[in-house]
Amino acid sequence: MKRRNFIKKATLSSLTVVIGSEIVFGNMLPKGYIPLAVQDPDPFKLFNKDAEMVVLNDRPWNMEAKAHLLNEKITSNKFMFIRNNGKIPENITIANWTITFDGESVKTPKTYTLQELKTKFEQHTYQLTLECGGNGRSEFDPPAKGNQWTIGAVSCARWTGVRLKDVLEDIGIKNDAVYIGYHAADTHLSGDPKKEPISRGVPMAKAFQEETLLAFKMNGKDIPLAHGYPLRLIAGGWPASASGKWINGISVRNKVHDGTKMTGTAYRVPCKPVAPGDKVKDEDMCIIESMPVKSLITYPKSGAMIDKKKKLLINGHAWAGELEVSKMEYSIDFGSSWQDCKLERPINRLAWQHFSAEISFSKKGYYEIWARATDAQGKSQSMILPGWNPKGYLNNACHRIAIKVI
């Protein structure tokens, strides 16, 4: 990590600046020793994550799962990806937590405590798919800048909270409302309190969906700190950046929200296909909304050894943004032919769907199992990398695992 390398090379005076106070007996520090105050924390213990999770960045923290870790139907915290843009808030006091609704299209700004949200509005629970818009970025060529996610920046936990639409109806909004934008308690990496690390949002139609929540529980317990404790916006089926963490403000806008990472190329793709490596003007980029159809084989683990005498059971998940997945297939001959999988209906709208299949092999040797989902509008996953875009978003190429039949 860049930070770790900097610390190793740091002088006594620069270490003092990093720590924020004089290092008493600093002249006696052993050569190469890194003071505890600036040593990197163990992210697996810090966030209660499985040891097989992969850390992509520690400033800010970004972490993903491997495919086989996501085999659960309901994603638990230890396997849930982390995507942060700033520093995680510290010293949160629940009793003092509030959320303020304002903006051009709010009749009168209004503030609620967390307890008021919980008691004044009916609570709802949905299992909702959240996927980073850049999931799969590592496969793009030419390479796209940003965290090089492979396949593990996706999850589908059970979220409990109040419907955003119920709160918006309570405060009263004007007829010119177009968008909502969220504000949060995380801080900018620079330390500048005037800068927001991220402030995105969704159109009013998405804000008023039944499943769009101000959530305070994940899988029946308080949301873990890394995932937005004590209050998080959940807008399932859209890029997870729309589901802001540590929410303390919602602005109801009379225009498309123009907060941090809502403009330029952030979470946008070319409105029309472009050649790989092309530069695209900001005005020719469109905001990502519903995520594309996608699937993931979560069992067996890639690299598995299979007994030819036995059938292989595969299973996994499929999702399609705002839509349902209508068909799930697998191939063992590099996409030359496809066989149907058993596909379950989602437990509720915007939840991923589970698939399974039994596979027989005619001879021993190396095989690849490819998975392909098709959504309710007939759109299928790409067999290879889909259209290139400057930020490496929306890679929904077929997932593949390698196995050897013995």
Return d(Cα 105, Cα 255) in angstroms, integer: 9
Return the DSSP state at 117.
Answer: H
Distance of alpha carbon 329 from alpha carbon 293, whole angstroms: 13
Encode pLDDT of 325-350 as tens digits. Answer: 999 999 999 999 999 999 999 999 99
Measured in whole angstroms, how far is the alpha carbon of residue 369 from the centre of its chain? 26
| % of the chain exceeding 70 in pLDDT | 93
CATH code for the part of the protein at 294-405: 2.60.40.650
Quick one: pLDDT at residue 2? 47
Cα torsion 272, 273, 274, 276: sign: positive
Q: Is the dihedral of CA 382, 388, 389, 393 positive or negative?
A: positive
- Residue pair 82/226 in contact (Cβ under 8 Å)? The answer is yes
**Annotated domain spans of the chain:** 2-77, 86-287, 294-405
Averaged confidence pLDDT in the chain: 93
Tell me the HSE value of 248 on the side-chain side, using a 13 A CA sphere.
15
Q: pTM for the whole thing?
A: 0.90
Would you call 140 exposed, middle or buried from its count of C-beta atoms within 10 A (0-12, 13-18, 19+)?
A: buried
User: What pLDDT was estimated at residue 7?
Assistant: 46
User: Given this model, what pLDDT does residue 9 score?
Assistant: 54
Q: Average pLDDT of 362-371?
A: 97
Domains 86-287 and 294-405 share a fold: no
Q: How far is the C-alpha of 341 from the C-alpha of 317, rounded, in Å?
A: 11
Query: What homologous superfamily does CATH list for 86-287?
Result: Oxidoreductase, molybdopterin-binding domain (3.90.420.10)
The pLDDT of residue 280 is above 60: yes
Residue 1 confidence (pLDDT): 47
| Strand 61-64 versus strand 54-58 pairing type | antiparallel
Count CA atoms within 13 Å of residue 334 on its CB side. 2
Predicted local distance difference test score (pLDDT) of residue 6: 44
Let me know how long the chain is.
Answer: 406
- For the cut 90, the answer to whether the pLDDT of residue 386 exceeds it is no
Per-position DSSP letters for 153-167, written without gaps between them: -EEEEEEEEEEHHHH
What pLDDT, on the 0 to 100 scale, is given for residue 303? 96
Pairing state between β 312-319 and 304-306? unpaired
How many other C-beta atoms lie within 10 A of the C-beta of residue 237?
A: 25
C-alpha span between 113 and 333 (Å, rounded): 57
- Reported as a pLDDT band with limits 50, 70 and 90, residue 19 is low
Q: Hunting for tokens 């540590």 — which residue is that? A: 246
The yes-or-no verdict on residue 112 having pLDDT over 80 is yes
Query: Tens digit of pLDDT for each residue in 223-255?
Result: 999 999 999 999 999 999 999 999 999 999 999
pLDDT at 380 over 70: yes
pLDDT at residue 4 above 60?
no
Go through 366-394 and write b for each residue having 16 or more CB atoms within 10 A of its CB, e for each that does not.
Answer: ebebbbbbbbeeeebbbeeebebbbbbbb
Where does the pLDDT of residue 50 fall: very low under 50, low under 70, confident under 90, or very high at 90 and above? Answer: very high
Instruction: Please choose, from the candidates 288, 253, 240, 257, the residue with its C-alpha nearest in 3D space to the C-alpha of residue 168.
Output: 253
Share of the chain above pLDDT 90, in %: 86
